[in-house]
Structure 1
Amino acid sequence: MDTSILLKQLVPKVFSPEESVVANNSPTIAMSSSIKRHAKLWELSETYHCPIIGTCLSISDLEKFARSFNFTASLRNEFALHVETVNRVSTRNEVSKAIHKFLNKKYQTYVTDFEVARSDTDVLALWRKYSIHGEVAGALWAGFTHKAASNETRKIIYADMHMLSHQVGAGQATDMRRLARLEKENTEIKFALKQQQQQQTRNEVRLRKQLHATESELENLRQSGNEVAVLRARIAALESGVAMVEMGQRLMSLTMANEQLQMTSERVSTLAKLLETTNNKAAILLRERNMLVSEKKTLEQFLLTKNTPDESKRKSLLPHMHSMRNSCILCVGGRITLLPQYRMLAEQLGIRLIHHDGGQQKALSRLHSMVDSADAVICPTDCVSHAAYYQLKRHCRRTGKRCLLFKGASVSGFTTALATLSSDPTNVSRSAIKCVPEIIEK
């Protein structure tokens, strides 16, 4: 297929008056605000077909339709598949009807949510609500085909999608810069930790020497105490006033020395406690550093996999994660604001991610059915309710569903959790189901 010719048929016409005319001069149905039914895919302006096909259909979806309807484009040429699909849905035919039906089923939840919109303004408000949270694909389809959406609203949605594509590219560049900054910070932390360990070793040697010296002083103090007792006995026996004065002076000197030694002993005890506290803090910092290094390596492998066009190289970078493609993973809890990033990571790995918020807005009664429908379950224990945590744990143990309970609801923690989940040599969809013992008990 000549993709350059197909591309010319996709020239944007958002703000031109010829929206109702297709490239082959065949008439299309002009969408009017007076039509009180949902728009069909082929009834929409050709301009909107490109963002709909590119956003709402995955590459695997395009390949499925290409095989079913004998596309002329090569299955290895993703752009050619996209262009041919866009051209085929410009009129009513078997391909456009099948894709329209598929999109309605795929994004049924969003179509149902948009049913509450009664006016053009309501449709635009719902689009912006979902797009802010990163739920773009379903909201795009529901907004474009809504019966109350006007051409002006569709133009605004199209413009938002256009700008969003630029922002996504800029965001990837920002992530790469952030990764470089994190690597630099990690190197600095390693160097600072090494220096701190060396300083701690020197302090420990110095404190041990002080401790030995203090123990010697304590032993001398005990001997001095014995001498005091002997001197007191001699003082009582002496009758000479001069001798008693001399002995009294000596006693006072020994008493002061005894007090000084006791103060030194207390200081040594304080230093020993401080040393123990410092060792504990250093151990905690070391564990945190190891965890950050592990998360950084996982993110590095993921980014390398994402930016590597060669399929065999991607398999070698994340071999276990590659085996999880086409699996269904349920995420219970986590940060709602990071859910779009969770979904993006899962989609990049070919994983279908479903989410339950742990009872914040979704009922806990749905949790069992969602667990049963998933191949495996992950749950950040530091960002989920107690009720959802214990209910999920009991159900997974009872049913044998594989469940990974981990600490850390960040994007890097989520990526590390997927890597941990995929480290089992058996396939996720057929693996023996178990609960991971390294969890944080609430």
Structure 2
Amino acid sequence: MCRNAERLPPGAAVFAEPPAPIKPDTPRARPRLWTLDPQHHCPIIGTCLPLADLQRIARRCHFAARPDDDFALHVEAVSHARSRNPASEAIQRHLDARYRLAVARFARFKTDAELRDEWLACVARGEVAGPLWALCTHRMASAETLQAAYQRVHMLSHQVGAGLAADTRRLAQLEKENTELRTGLKRELTALRRQLAAAESALGERDAARTEAAELKKRLQRFESGQVMVDLGRRLMSLQGAAEDLASATRRIYTLESTLKDAHQESIRLAAERDAALSERNALEAILQASLPATDDADTEALCTRAGSDDCAGCPQATSERCILYVGGRAALIAQYRQLAGRLGIKLIHHDGGLEESLSRLPDLINGADAVLCPTDHISHNAYYHVKSHCKRIGRPCLFYKGAGVSGFAAAVARVNRGEYSVAGQDEA
């Protein structure tokens, strides 16, 4: 029947195709969906397989029909049911699982007459889907019984279709009446609620007025007896004491906060001084260790005794810059600067930062040095900006640091040795 379903006009009966000839023999094994007479595929799928289940099977088996086209899904499912394939096997498994109780109940009957009687009883009770599947897949069902079931389902479909329009109209009328009744009931309930709220409000206001009057009477009695003034005086004294305690605590808190802030700033300053002192101490120790001869290596001892020579370039304690320009600083410590530099094999050039020497010599001195050291606390502003701008222009490493003492100089040399510069060509923003 469903082979020509696509050519049917809209609204045509689903079971309009004439039934196929009745097969005389009955299989012994329980029939499967694809072994049934093709005329039964349409009523079985249309009656026994709910639309939602059919849509899930269609998605799983990749039907060609659109998921929202129910008729096309039905036609394609009927087409798949004619042969054994993944779709027909999925429908077979689903119907067996869904109607397993009906299949088990029909399996108890051994004759065609018992099957026919049970089918008619189920139809009389309004049970169609499960009994239809159990009957069509029962091995003892005869072709005549299957044909009678087909005819009954066929006529039921027409009757359901004819009664559906009348039921729909009646349902619409009932829904309209129900909506009107519900609207009227809501209006009545709203009016009753307003009346009840007004009554409760009036009753509550009356009770509240009585309670307020009694409370005012008690307060008036307390005022007349003078008890209120005594209580207010006691409360005022208590509040004054609490206010004094709070003010004293506030002053202590302010004092402690100020002390804590000063202590925190002092701790930061001391920590910075400690770190600077440790750095300078480590630098001085490194320089002293570099100047000590190695007792277990005669060649190393001879090498370190020639501090300031070209051989110091191989010492692991010596800096990679062989010539350093020192601008500014304390003039009285220049000899000690040179002595420390010499222990590391460094040639130290000094410029006083414009005190007695001309600043015009700085570019030539910077060009001839491998690195420049400037103590910011002992250098003029003009010398500082001359050194910084020229080092940027030619890409010369330059270290600006605080502390013009010997230990500060030692720490600065150690930083230069580690590659820590303040200005290095155009790298500084």
Per the normalisation by structure 1, the TM-score is 0.40
**Structure of higher CA gyration radius:** 2
